Amino acid sequence: MTENEHPRKSAVMLHGPDRAAARAMLHAIGFSREDLERPIIGVGHAWIETMPCNWNHRALAERVKAGIRAAGGTPMEFNTIAVSDGVSMGTEGMKASLVSREVIADSIELVARGHSFDGLVLIVGCDKTIPAAAMALCRMDLPGLVLYGGTIAPGRLRERDDLTVQDVFEAIGAFNAGKIDDKELRAVEEAACPGAGACGGQYTANTMSGALEFLGLSPAGANGVPALHADKAGVAEAAGRLAVKLVADDVRPRSIVTREALENAIAYFSATGGSTNAVLHLLAIAAEAEVPLDIEDFHAICARTPIMADLRPGGRFVATDIHRAGGLAVLMQRLLSLGLLHGEARNVEGRSLAEVAAAAHETPGQEVFRPADHPVRSHGGIAILRGNLAPGGCVIKLAGHDKTTHRGPARVFDSENLAFAGVREGKVQAGDVVVIRYEGPVGGPGMQEMLSVTAALAGAGLDDSVALVTDGRFSGATHGFMVAHVVPEAALGGPLAALRDGDIVRIDVAAREMSVELPEAEIAARLGGWQPPQPRYRTGAFAKYAASVASASEGAITRPAAVRTT
């Protein structure tokens, strides 16, 4: 296809006598007239000095830019924000995490539209930067790709060589339970995170980085290369070259993010026991691509897709082990052999998923990916439940345990901080159902993660004997019998708002039900006397988010009030 058939966006901004002033501004920072005649490729990243997850983005951007120049394009680097879940966990700052997904996507859109980029390479790291980049690409349908900065290496401490930040959170719980002293806690703290890269288990960042390979928005194998691996620079250069080709061939993200590609990404998520946040993020990406997708699709795909990867938080291995085992193409082979993937779906390289799988080189003796006939578990990583506590749906995490039912008295907390204090003070007992409400998209706002609470339960030895229910969400490092994303949320008058301490809550995976053992009339009477809580924020970004966010069952996307359905 010639340029005349799909004229470059940048020409409107930079070509012709009328655009001399725009060119003059760019000459001031080193761009030549010849540079501005070439395709302009935005190189976006989220370098920030608040976390290790994005610490290598500037260095990777230089290699991406070199690849763009080598392929005949002109790179223009820009940045966006990031909020670290791991650093902000358990504080008010955690509310900003999911909100940042929308801000990141919006900021990428604004820069790309504002400066008429022809294409994009988006370098991502910490959790929300990954779906945000995919959302922005699909929203604009601009040629481009997403490159993950890579996973952190595991920490080493004495006989262990697989430490992650999960171990630090659980060590905090053990310390508060009196099981370890402050010296041991500090030793874990100082060993767990040895350098640049995103959190090292199959937590949200690594879950979503792999999802983008299965979805097709990232080159095959690129995201799996760890952050500090010697091959990462070459991967970045190749991404830059590929972006120029995508512009030349006018390959658009929406031609890649099809229904079949989304189903492939969900199957991968299920097979790796990945973070429940993937439900929110894949729903949001689908919405931006205008592809119908529903939480029931997750249930159906996860019900038929076994867990094939033995990964933390519930398993043995960390993300760097995936790379050593031969990469995600090995998992593609397994899932294709079971008839669980659409092999014809294509990625940004133009390769089909079946072609990527056929080229896999599995490391002999690896144990990360199980044989197709011997999965870790026969079911997938999550299920969707409903019932009188979640008529609009909720997500239960099934990876890392075999439990399928729980019945017990509710211990109700109106915030994550109150729940954490309750666990620390011994208010939660074996058999309880810990309920954390008013932490949904509107009520939080921002659906903060509950890792501090779940880790405290683990540290206290209660993770196998209690259930946890919330209208917020869970970290990818969470494990145990945990239900999140409850819809409708308590702040909007959902049934969680009617719960009281001691009410008996029943969770039954086989029946796909989460309910309280109360007559419907009693629930209605309680809600009839319920008053919504005052908004926690009346101005600023949080207030704007709460006013425009949809439910968790719709991916907690934001949109104008005129098109909101919840």
Q: Are 381 and 269 in contact (CB under 8 A)?
A: yes
Distance (Å, rounded) from C-alpha 365 to C-alpha 362? 9
* Ramachandran class of 359: left when φ > 0, alpha when ψ lies in -120 to 50, beta otherwise: alpha
Angle, CA of 98, 280 and 566, to the nearest 5°: 90
Tokens encoding 39: 């395709």
Exposure b/e, 13-29, CB count within 10 A at least 16 = b: bbeeeeeeebbeebeee
Distance CA 103, CA 100 (A): 5
User: Where is 237: in which H helix or E strand?
Assistant: helix 232-248
* Contact in structure between 276 and 484 (CB atoms under 8 Å): yes
6 CB-near residues (< 8 Å, 6+ apart): 250
Catalytic residue set: 475
Cα(9)–Cα(13) distance, integer angstroms: 7
Q: Which of 274, 279, 277 is nearest to 315 (CA)?
A: 274
Four-point Cα dihedral 132, 71, 350, 133, nearest 10: 0
The span from the CA of 464 to the CA of 458, in Å, is 8
Q: What is the DSSP string of 436-489?
A: E-S-STTTTTS--B-HHHHHHHHHTT-TTT-EEEESSB--TT--SEEEE--SS-
Which residue has tokens 């070439």? 38
Q: Say if strands 504-508 and 481-484 run parallel, antiparallel, or are unpaired.
A: unpaired
Contact 122, 75 (CB under 8 A): no
Whether the bond into 143 is cis, omega within 30 of 0 = no
Our CA angle for 274, 276, 280, nearest 5°, is 125
Q: Is the dihedral of CA 173, 178, 181, 182 positive or negative?
A: positive
